[in-house]
Amino acid sequence: MKQTEWTPGDLLELSGHFWKTCTLHAGVKLGVFSKIGVDALGAEEVARRVNGSVDGVARLLNALAAMGLLEKRNGRFACNPSARALLSQDSPTYLGHIMMHHHHLMESWARLDRSVSSGRPLRERTSVGNEAWRESFLLGMYNLAMALAPRMVEAVDLSSRRRFLDLGGGPGTYAIHFCLKHPSMTATVFDLPTTRPFAEKTIDRFRLSDRIAFAAGDYHDDEIFGRFDVAWLSHILHAEGPDECLKIIRKAVAALQPGGMLIIHEFILDDAMDGPEFPALFSLNMLLQTESGRAYSERELRDMLMTAGVQGIRRIPIKTPNDSGILVGTV
């Protein structure tokens, strides 16, 4: 429920919440949780393992313990089960990559007022141009998709579909999970050439190289070869303005055979545009990071789909941690 009554304490806590965010990011960036692992260590040993000052590391460890991310007993620090599962690099459910992506965004968010005043982004899209930033972005999107994909494959019935297009699919996480769910399905992941090594490595890890192909291209300009009976567009429209979104949707429609299904997975705003909270904040992130990207309302997305010739549009009920939603239609 949206909070409408605020006390001075509430507002001060909200204003200073970045202290907690930066503390978490420092722990992840330094590898504190990974270095501790299953051990219980004193500050001196943790400082040695992360190559940090004993005083600085001790303060960080105490703050992480105060936040409930570490446990402290008899002067030694240990990861609790949540930290081991989500913040240690050797865990299959590690979320550190998406946190580092968030960390890279903080410099621009600190200057949000400038972007709001100018209506322009503050910098180039560094996830494309800078290798370190791109790696954190790709791995971060992989983190999120791995967490969400099992829910998606249960929510969307593709049992009658055989050829799956994952447009702008990055490492192919959704293609992988839909193919695992449906043994008779094959898939194509269409994304930039720089994504190919990560995608092929990920696909091979799931032993699906014989069923999932990677097609290198830019969905803005390049032709999509092949005919599919389902096209999946996950979190690609929010980086574009309305005209470019419509162009991308039309390109996906053109790749579908008659009766094909088009699925959009996005952060979807209410039609009043003032909620849910995460999509509304994400729209500001797109103002900071892109020339014309934004979060769209369900009505806006429906209008784009109808203009592109998609019929029978419906929203699939699903609850996700960041209020993303799914719209489905056929051509």
Residues whose CB is less than 8 angstroms from the CB of residue 222 and which lie 6 or more positions away in sequence, other chains included = none
- pLDDT of the residue at 124: 52
What is the C-alpha to C-alpha distance for residues 325 and 331, in angstroms, rounded to an integer?
20
For residue range 197-240, what is the model confidence (pLDDT) as tens digits? 989 999 999 999 999 999 999 999 999 999 999 999 999 999 99
Give the CA distances from residue 172 to residues 73, 117, 161, 223, in Å, rounded to whole numbers and listed in that order: 43, 38, 17, 19
What is the C-alpha to C-alpha distance for residues 134 and 160, in angstroms, rounded to an integer?
36
Strand 228-234, strand 163-167: pairing: parallel
What is the C-alpha to C-alpha distance for residues 208 and 320, in angstroms, rounded to an integer?
27
Share of the chain above pLDDT 90, in %: 85
pTM check: above 0.75: yes
For residue range 141-155, what is the model confidence (pLDDT) as tens digits? 888 888 889 999 999
Give the chain's domains with CATH numbers. 8-94 (1.10.10.10), 148-330 (3.40.50.150)
What is the C-alpha to C-alpha distance for residues 261 and 245, in angstroms, rounded to an integer?
17
DSSP string, 85-134: HHH-TTSTT--HHHHHHHHHHHHHHTTHHHHHHHTS-SS--HHHH-HHHH
Among 248, 295, 240, CA closest to 272: 295
